[in-house]
């Protein structure tokens, strides 16, 4: 007669599982990293080389000094109005309209962009945002400015997307449509080579 | 009558614990799937700045972290320091760190790598700019300024 195999006692299984559980609770985190994603420009190959010239009317200069004050187009600016200013600057305006008494809006070009498989002429601003900061600028202010710039571009993209496809940019599903919007309104933020501007 | 009284003589039956391991295992698997390993023990204090236009970083395995902030230990001063992996580092060590990270990754994945800068909001831009210059020189162009999502910004 075959001997009966004694059953393995599973009573401590719960304890073992508990130990594993607590180990994982302690060593892991649940938070997802979020942030503002940016693409850095490639380094200048030749330091003597002049950067490509951009017409002055196409540039919006934003300076942040070491005490976190803003200078927007040579006038004192404020972070709470920056978004509207950038939107106004980058939006498409008819030729001849003036931004201030002396300064016209940036140039507008017609670009052929493929929308849903068919080429379409879309007006595209030649404007560039130039951002300069001091070594003494606080990171919080820098991020606040970057955030406002991103928000301005985002709102412009939303507007165009609403016009072309009837829905917001973030709600677009097709990659091609996203590409088209990105082509029409590229994130043109240029960060100057680091220099010390005024007072550390 | 005696038929109904029979039950009360027995004590309350013990709760079966045989399914307890299964329940715990289920919890365990839940946590194993939803969480990720802690990347490093922080030696610098990082309070991320707030922003509204944040994006989520997908593919955690392709992210390298650079921490910048004042040291946790008070005796090390209040000047912002850089932390790479588990230790303090100088600006010139950033290149080597990123190159090593790149080396460890699959060749196909390398161009999708992204460097996340976890910087304390009180830090001055000088040190951040230096790190960005280093990253540019070795071609780690994609960066993320780590920040917390808020509904709307408050300016003071």
Read off the tokens for A20.
């594993």
Question: Please, what is the angle between helix B125-137 and helix A139-165, to 10°?
Answer: 60
A119 contacts chain B (CB < 8 A): no
Question: Phi and psi dihedrals of B12, rounded to 5?
Answer: -65, 135
- Where are chain B's structural domains? 50-149
Q: What is the pLDDT of residues A124-182, one digit of tens each?
A: 888 888 888 888 888 888 999 999 999 999 999 998 888 888 888 888 888 888 888 88
Q: Above 0.90 for ipTM, yes or no? A: no
Residues of A within 8 A of B25 (CB-CB) are 17
**How close is the nearest chain A Cα to the Cα of B2, in Å?**
38
B111 contacts chain A (CB < 8 A): no
Residues of A within 8 A of B50 (CB-CB) are 143
Residues of B within 8 A of A146 (CB-CB) are 51, 145
What is the fold, at CATH topology level, of the domain defined by B50-149?
Answer: Nucleotidyltransferase; domain 5 (3.30.420)
Q: What angle do CA A165, A166, A172 make, to 5 degrees?
A: 60
Instruction: Tell which residue, A73, A48, A50, has the closest CA to residue A61.
Output: A73
A73 vs A78: CA distance, rounded Å: 12
Q: What is the pLDDT of residues B48-83, one digit of tens each?
A: 888 888 888 887 778 888 999 999 888 888 888 898
- Where are chain A's structural domains? 56-191
pLDDT band for A200, please (50, 70, 90 cuts).
Answer: very low
DSSP string, B20-53: HHHHHHHHHHHHHHH-EE------B---PPEESS
Q: What is the pLDDT of residues A180-191, one digit of tens each?
A: 888 888 888 888
Q: What angle do CA A41, A45, A51 make, to 5 degrees?
A: 65
Cβ separation B53–A36 shorter than 8 A: yes
Read off the tokens for A183.
């082509």
For residues B100, B105, B106 and B107, what is the CA-based torsion angle, rounded to 10 degrees? -40
- Does the pLDDT at position A71 exceed 80? yes
**How close is the nearest chain B Cα to the Cα of A1, in Å?**
31
DSSP, collapsed to helix, strand or coil, labels residue B125 as: helix
Cβ separation B53–A20 shorter than 8 A: no
DSSP string, A116-170: TTEEEEEEEE--EEEEEE-TTSBHHHHHHHHHHHHHHHHHHHHHHHHHHHSS-GG
Q: What angle do CA A181, B149, B147 make, to 5 degrees?
A: 95
pLDDT the model gives residue B54: 87
């Amino acid at each position: 007669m075959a001997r009966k195999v004694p059953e393995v006692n599973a009573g401590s299984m719960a304890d073992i599982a508990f130990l594993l559980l607590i180990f994982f609770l302690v060593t892991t985190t649940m938070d997802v990293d979020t942030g503002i994603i940016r693409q850095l420009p490639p380094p200048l190959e030749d330091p003597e080389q002049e950067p490509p010239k951009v017409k002055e009317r196409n540039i919006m200069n934003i300076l942040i000094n070491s005490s976190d004050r803003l200078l927007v187009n040579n006038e004192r600016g404020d972070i709470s109005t920056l978004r509207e200013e950038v939107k106004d600057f980058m939006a498409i305006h008819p030729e001849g309209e003036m931004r201030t008494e002396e300064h016209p809006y940036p140039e507008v070009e017609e670009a052929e962009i493929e929308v849903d498989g068919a080429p379409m002429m879309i007006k595209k601003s030649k404007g560039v945002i130039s951002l300069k900061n001091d070594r003494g600028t606080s990171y919080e202010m820098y991020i606040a400015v970057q955030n406002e710039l991103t928000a301005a571009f985002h709102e412009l993209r939303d507007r165009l997307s609403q016009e072309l496809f009837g829905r917001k940019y973030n709600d677009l599903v097709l990659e091609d449509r996203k590409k088209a919007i990105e082509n029409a309104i590229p994130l043109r933020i240029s960060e100057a080579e680091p220099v010390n501007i005024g007072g550390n | 009558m005696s038929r109904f009284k029979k039950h009360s003589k027995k004590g309350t039956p013990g709760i079966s614990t045989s399914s307890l391991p299964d329940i715990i295992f289920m919890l365990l698997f839940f946590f194993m799937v939803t969480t990720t390993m802690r990347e490093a023990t922080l030696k610098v204090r990082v309070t991320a700045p707030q922003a509204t236009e944040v994006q989520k970083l997908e593919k955690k395995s392709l992210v390298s972290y650079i921490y910048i902030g004042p040291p946790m230990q008070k005796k090390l001063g209040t000047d912002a320091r850089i932390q790479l992996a588990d230790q303090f580092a100088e600006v010139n060590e950033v290149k080597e760190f990123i190159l090593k990270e790149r080396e460890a990754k699959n060749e196909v994945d390398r161009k999708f790598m992204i460097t996340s800068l976890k910087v304390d909001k009180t830090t001055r831009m000088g040190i951040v700019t230096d790190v960005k210059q280093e990253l540019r020189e070795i071609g780690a162009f994609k960066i993320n300024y780590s920040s917390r999502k808020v509904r709307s910004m408050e300016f003071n």
